[in-house]
Amino acid sequence: MVEKIEFDHNLGRIPPRDDNTQRLLKLLVALAPVSGIIYLCAVVALSEEPVLRSTGVIAALCTALGAFVLLRLNRSGLAAQVLVWGFWISLQAQVFISNGLASRSLMALPIVIMMAGWLLSARSAIMLCVATVLFGLALALGEQANLLPLYDAPSPPLLVWLASSTYIVLASALAYYIFRGFRLRHEALRRSEEKFSVAFRSGPMAMSITRLSDGCCLDINDAFVGLLGWRREEVIGRNALEIGKWLAAEDQQAWARELSQSGRIANRESRCRTRSGVLRDVQMSSVLIELDGEPCALVLASDITERKRAGEKFAKVFHASPEAITISRLRDGLYLDVNEAFVEQIGWLREEVIGLTENDIGLWPSKADRQRWVAQLRQQGRVKSYEASLNARNGQRHTVLISAELFDLEGEQCVIGMLYDITEQEATRKEIRQLNTELEKRVQERTAELQSANKELESFAYSISHDLRAPLRGIDGFSYLLADEFGERLDAQGRGYLERVRRAAQQMGTLIDDILDLSRISLQEMRRMEVNLSQIAAEMIEEHTRTELGHRIEVIIAPECTAFGDPQLLRVMMQNLLENAWKYSSKEASPKIEFGRETLDGETVFFVRDNGVGFDMEYADRLFAPFQRLHKPEEFEGTGIGLATVARIVRRHGGRVWAESEPGKGATLRFTLGVPSENGQ
């Protein structure tokens, strides 16, 4: 219903939604001065004593003016009070100085009383009615004792008609707005009931209306049907205890008593039984309402069965977790709960900690440390692996990783945090850092030693290159001169000896070149890039074919075999591998060399295969060692450095090389070149 206007300490206002009452008040404020001015003009023109006839009208005009000013100031409640009581006083004054209880002005009193009933509060309206009755009694007693200044001269008929017409107009306007207000209020009430009905029926929460005296269900919504499984027609008229809403009569009675006393109950947990007999946990909120004069309860219930089960599971996980977990208040660090792992790690018992703050137990080394952690948590809403130092009860300092997240608990911002103790890991990391420092120092020392050794190796290579070559050149040169100038004086055996000396000197020179090449491979700086091994193989075979035109050989080269490495070193490697295959297959009737790529155990493997003489795998471990040969020099010439060079180049690229062969069935040499890193090293 629309509230009445009351005059209270706040000088009450007409509710903005009650436009009908506002319009009525404005209309009365407008009609009063217009009617008053017309009546005053008529009194001056028709009455012999205008002052006596116009006293009440002048007071009414002043009242209307005051109410108008208050309306302009948006003081609707006070304006209504002034208007009603002002009109009443004006009428009583006019009745008092004119014809008393015989005055026609008494016709307006019912209008003023109706105005009070509509515009004022019930208390103000009753006060005005009582005042009217008492004032009438005073007039009657005054007239009976001849104490009133009665004016017996009759009013002019036109003046009587004008006053009566004014009363009729005011009564008609008042009646119109009153009945219109009733109609609007009835319509608003109907719409409100419809809205409530729609909200009640379609609400997502289970709702029921129960009579408080006997627990009889008056109505339920569809969500209630879904919760308990009872149809609406099965529930209405039955006691809530019968349908399983309550498991025990004592619980229902205790709830009814509490609701009667407090008027509402919020978020009470209870258990109910569905139609199929399944027990459900619910959370109920109840409010006391009145229907047809009887106290009833509007109950809202939500199913929290799964939530409680989840809570129970969380509690089990919380307390059984091997990691320390805490639940605390964010603003001051007050502990709400801790698990056993926290007790073991920090040393405080659970019952000792709950109710204390983190500062109370001295957990943080300083308040500033906690403030920094809290500031980051407030900013991000969660933190993960926040490294901090915390104090245990025994004074030991623990290094922990804290992962925490904010959540609301009954309107309070709280924190659930997990502490992972990394004290031992931190000590291990420090030890590892120390070992790394020592290792780095050793590496620097070994690097310095290696650099020194490399310099010595360079010096040795220089010595070989210059100091040993000079005698060899002398031996070879003088042998040549001896054979050229004195060869006729030597017999065949002497000339043979001399030729063997020259071949040995030349072979020694070749061996020195191979040794120098092998040393350079170890000293040469690596520069990695993509290298096309297929193209290098094709170029090498083409060069051998041009130099040995009579040597017919079948060559198979797989296309686009690319690798990542030093192009110069990879060319030397491919040269040695192909020359090795060319040499050991040269005595075959149909020599064949193949270069390709394959995948073994997910790894890219390159190979060079020939159908030459092969070798016994018993001696495979000697194949890649320097100066080791598996065949006699008379069969195949060479120094035994080629495959050693291949092995050293492959190792520098982070790969490996191996061979597979059988005597008389050729050999296959396979190699890998490692996996390049992101920066190409």
Alpha carbon of 280 to those of 148, 203, 224, 470: distances in Å? Answer: 81, 19, 13, 105
CATH no. for residue 593? Answer: 3.30.565.10
CB of 437 closer than 8 Å to CB of 418? no
Of the three residues 158, 185, 212, the one that is the final residue of a domain is 185
Residue 51: per-residue pLDDT: 55
- Within its chain, how far is the Cα of 276 from the centroid? 40
pLDDT at 137 over 70: yes
Among the residue ranges 53-57, 207-211, 215-219, 357-361, the one predicted with the least confidence is 53-57
Residue 409: per-residue pLDDT: 84
312 is a domain residue: no
d(CA 105, CA 132): 13
Across the range 522-548, mean pLDDT stands at: 83
Q: What is the dihedral of CA 44, 46, 49, 51, to 10 degrees?
A: -30
Same domain, 294 and 380: no
More confident residue, 47 or 530: 530
Same domain, 659 and 615: yes
Secondary structure of 118-157 in HEC code, one letter for each residue: HHECHHHHHHHHHHHHHHHHHHHHHHHCCCCCCCCCCCCH
Please report which confidence band the pLDDT of residue 490 belongs to, taking 50, 70 and 90 as the band edges: confident
2 is a domain residue: no
Please report which confidence band the pLDDT of residue 58 belongs to, taking 50, 70 and 90 as the band edges: confident
79 is a domain residue: yes
Same domain, 37 and 169: yes
Q: pLDDT tens digits for 365-401?
A: 999 999 999 999 999 989 998 999 999 998 888 899 9
DSSP sequence for 275-343 = TTS-EEEEEEEEEEEEETTEEEEEEEEEE-HHHHHHHHHHHHHHHH-SSEEEEEETTT-BEEEE-HHHH
143 is a domain residue: yes
521 is a domain residue: no
- Who contacts 69 (Cβ-Cβ below 8 Å, separation ≥6)? none
Count structural domains, the chain.
5
Q: pLDDT tens digits for 421-446?
A: 888 888 888 888 888 888 888 888 88
Tell me the two tokens of residue 132. 């009217």
DSSP state of 468: I
Q: pLDDT tens digits for 241-269?
A: 888 778 888 888 888 888 888 888 988 88
pLDDT at 49 over 80: no
- How many other CB atoms are found less than 10 A from the CB of residue 1? 7
Same domain, 332 and 283: no
Of the three residues 450, 484, 509, the one that is the final residue of a domain is 509
193 is a domain residue: no
- The dihedral built from the CA positions of residue 394, 399, 405 and 406, taken in this order, carries a sign that is positive
Residue 268: per-residue pLDDT: 86
Same domain, 659 and 547: yes
pLDDT at 89 over 60: yes
Please report which confidence band the pLDDT of residue 461 belongs to, taking 50, 70 and 90 as the band edges: low
pLDDT at 679 over 50: no
Which residue range is the domain that position 439 belongs to? 427-509
Please report which confidence band the pLDDT of residue 1 belongs to, taking 50, 70 and 90 as the band edges: very low
* Nearest residue to 497 via CA among 507, 482, 512: 482
pLDDT at 37 over 50: yes
Same domain, 92 and 176: yes
Residue 55: per-residue pLDDT: 74
- The H-or-E segment that residue 610 falls in is strand 603-610
Secondary structure of 640-679 in HEC code, one letter for each residue: CCHHHHHHHHHHHCCCCEEEEECCCCCEEEEECCCCCCCC
Same domain, 555 and 471: no
Q: pLDDT tens digits for 277-326?
A: 888 888 888 999 888 888 999 999 888 888 888 877 888 888 888 889 99
d(CA 485, CA 498): 13
Residue 681: per-residue pLDDT: 43
Residue 11: per-residue pLDDT: 37
* Nearest residue to 516 via CA among 471, 476, 472, 459: 459
Across the range 338-360, mean pLDDT stands at: 90
pLDDT at 8 over 50: no
More confident residue, 553 or 526: 553
Same domain, 431 and 462: yes
23 is a domain residue: yes
554-557 and 592-600 beta bridge pairing: parallel
Same domain, 299 and 347: no
pLDDT at 568 over 90: no
Tell me the two tokens of residue 5. 């206007």
Q: pLDDT tens digits for 580-638?
A: 888 888 778 788 999 999 998 888 999 999 988 888 787 777 777 776 666 666 566 65
Q: What is the dihedral of CA 156, 162, 163, 165, to 10 degrees?
A: 140
587 is a domain residue: yes
Helices (H), 203-274: 222-228, 232-235, 249-262
Same domain, 109 and 144: yes
d(CA 298, CA 212): 10
Of the three residues 421, 451, 472, the one that is the final residue of a domain is 421
Same domain, 145 and 36: yes
CATH no. for residue 261? Answer: 3.30.450.20
Query: Measured in Å, how far apart are the chain's first and last C-alpha atoms?
Result: 87
Same domain, 644 and 600: yes
Instruction: Look up the pTM and report it.
Output: 0.39
